[in-house]
Amino acid sequence: MSLAQNEKLYYSIGEVAEMFNVSKSLIRFWESEFDLLKPHKNSKGDRKFTKANIEQFQIIYNLVKQRGFTLDGAKKEIKTNKENLIKKQRTLETLRGLKKMIGEAKELL
């Protein structure tokens, strides 16, 4: 998942669900389970996810879906290594962007 192609300020829960190929109910469940994930809500209660919120979701997604952590294990990992996980996520996003740019440059050659 890369945000480089989309530069919006806010994303709906449906857009986030589509980015990660998960259900909206999973996003709402993880929001209730993880203190890390707190998207903004408008006056109607609609969730509005910023790039930072999506980065937070990506950390949880990586731990639970990709690395196989239990919810409790992911919570503990976030609690003890939050800053390192955020730095790692930002580095991965930067590398994905660079990879995309290199691929586009190759096509121009």
Q: Specify if 5 maps to a domain.
A: no
Please tell me the predicted confidence (pLDDT) of residue 48.
94
Q: Specify if 40 maps to a domain.
A: yes
Q: In which domain, by residue range, is 90 found?
A: 13-108
* 10-to-39, 41, 46 alpha-carbon distances in Å: 10, 11, 11
Percentage of the chain beyond pLDDT 70 is 94
Which tens digit of pLDDT belongs to each residue from 7-49? Answer: 788 999 999 999 999 999 999 999 999 988 999 988 898 999 9
Please tell me the predicted confidence (pLDDT) of residue 11.
94
Task: Considering only residues 60 and 89, tell me which one the structure prediction assigns the higher pLDDT.
Answer: 60
pTM of the model: 0.74
Sign of CA dihedral 49, 87, 59, 78: negative
Q: How many domains does the chain have?
A: 1
Whether the predicted pLDDT of 96 surpasses 90: no
CATH number, position 32: 1.10.1660.10
Per-residue exposure over 22-37, b if at least 16 CB sit within 10 Å of its own CB, e if not: beeeebeebbeebebb
Please tell me the predicted confidence (pLDDT) of residue 1.
55
Q: Specify if 2 maps to a domain.
A: no
Q: Specify if 3 maps to a domain.
A: no
Whether the predicted pLDDT of 5 surpasses 80: no
